[in-house]
Amino acid sequence: MKSFQLTFVHIAILLSLLFLGTVIAPFLTTLVLAAILVTGTYPIYEWTLRKVHGKTRLAGAIISLSIGVIFSLVFFVFIILLSQEAVSTYQGFEGWIRSGKFNLNELTAKASKYFGIPAVDLVSSLTQAAQAFSGSLVEQSTTLLRSIVWLIINFFLLVFAMYFFFKDGKYIVESIEKIIPLPKHFGQEIFQKFQQVSLAMLYGIFLTAIVQGILGGIGLAVAGVQNPIFWGTVMAFFGMLPVGGTGIVWLPASIILLAGEHYVAGIGLLLWGALIVALVDNFIKPYIISKQTKTYPLATFLVVIGGLMVFGLKGAIIAPMVLAALVSLLHIYKLETVQKEI
């Protein structure tokens, strides 16, 4: 093949990759999550593969469907329990209001007198805000429905992608290693680094969530909140999410305690949640990733937190992998440079 023909092929391949990358970009986070889950559960897949006498399709289907079923059951049970607790909390809150123990205007009057700020009719303001929110919710119902449909599509894509990653994972890795214009051992080094990052992300997400749930549950128990074990579990679940986090639980609990004139417990829980529970995620997860991948802790910290702030969940997952690729490429460059100098 002539040089200009080879150049044309290279340009065509590059343009095709750019186009296809743009097309699959909305599913990139789901695919990366699938790869992380496959990496973390691959020993279970290999055990299942031996039990089904080397039938890769059957083993891949068993493990991917099992993970999907477990996630679905946990999610639905969690939603049911959370709904029951939410109804119970609402009924208790409504009982406070009816008994006169929770008077918003009286509380705002006390606050204005204590802090020297103008008093406001908080009930009217909240009523107007609720009406505006209801109207906005009706207007956004189509968007909400679309989001639910999109979540379901991504869930099925996750299970579908895991099946193919289990079944054809080794072939996919070998094919990419052949395409990469580097010696085979360098390509293997890059994939080993990606594997380390995947395991570190998996361990980091779950371990951080568990620690946050335990610390949050302890704070709730000390503050006198009912069902601290359940709400600690809820915090662990929300701790795995990029939006809201554990504050979805401890912040309203603090406000309710303050509204019930439990000032020490309310302020204590607020400080505990903001300074201990919420900040755990910013330290444990980067530490686990840096420990597993042997990268500089400060660089990992900045990459994880910066990726989350700039790109959301996608950035928090992909940024550490980009850092791992950079570390591997710098190591390869260093080795090649030393060999040339020798």
Average pLDDT over residues 231-242: 76
Is the model's pLDDT at 311 over the cut of 60? yes
At 137, list the tokens: 């919710």
Q: Is 235 exposed, middle or buried (0-12, 13-18, 19+ CB in 10 A)?
A: buried
Read off the pLDDT band of 92 (50, 70, 90): low
Residue 104: CB partners within 8 Å, gap ≥ 6? 122, 123, 126
Domain positions in the chain are 182-342
For residue range 171-180, list pLDDT tens digits in order.
Answer: 887 777 777 7
The Cα–Cα gap between 285 and 308 comes to 12
Report yes or no: 238 and 244 within 8 Å, Cβ to Cβ: yes
Report yes or no: 162 and 44 within 8 Å, Cβ to Cβ: no
Read off the pLDDT band of 192 (50, 70, 90): confident
- Looking at residue 141, its pLDDT comes to 52
Read off the pLDDT band of 47 (50, 70, 90): very high
Average pLDDT over residues 56-81: 84
> What mean pLDDT, rounded, does the chain reach?
75
Instruction: Identify which has the larger pLDDT, 271 or 284.
Output: 271
Average pLDDT over residues 98-116: 58
Is the model's pLDDT at 99 over the cut of 80? no
Task: Give me the phi and psi of 72, to 5 degrees please.
Answer: -65, -45
For residue range 112-171, list pLDDT tens digits in order.
Answer: 665 555 555 555 555 565 556 555 545 555 565 666 777 788 888 889 999 998 888 888
Angstrom distances, CA of residue 302 to CA of 33, 197, 211, 284, 290: 21, 15, 21, 13, 11
Q: Which amino acid is at 239?
A: G
Q: Which residues of 96-119 are buried (b: 16+ CB within 10 A; e: fewer)?
A: eeeeeebeeeeebeeeeeeeeeee
What crossing angle do the helices spanning 313-341 and 184-223 adopt, rounded to 10°?
140
Please give the helix or strand (H or E) that residue 120 lies within, else none.
none
Average pLDDT over residues 1-7: 68
Tokens 């939006």 -> residue: 243
SS3 191: helix
Average pLDDT over residues 234-254: 75
Is the model's pLDDT at 65 over the cut of 80? yes
Is the model's pLDDT at 19 over the cut of 60? yes
Average pLDDT over residues 176-188: 72
Average pLDDT over residues 27-46: 84
Is the model's pLDDT at 240 over the cut of 80? no
SS3 73: helix
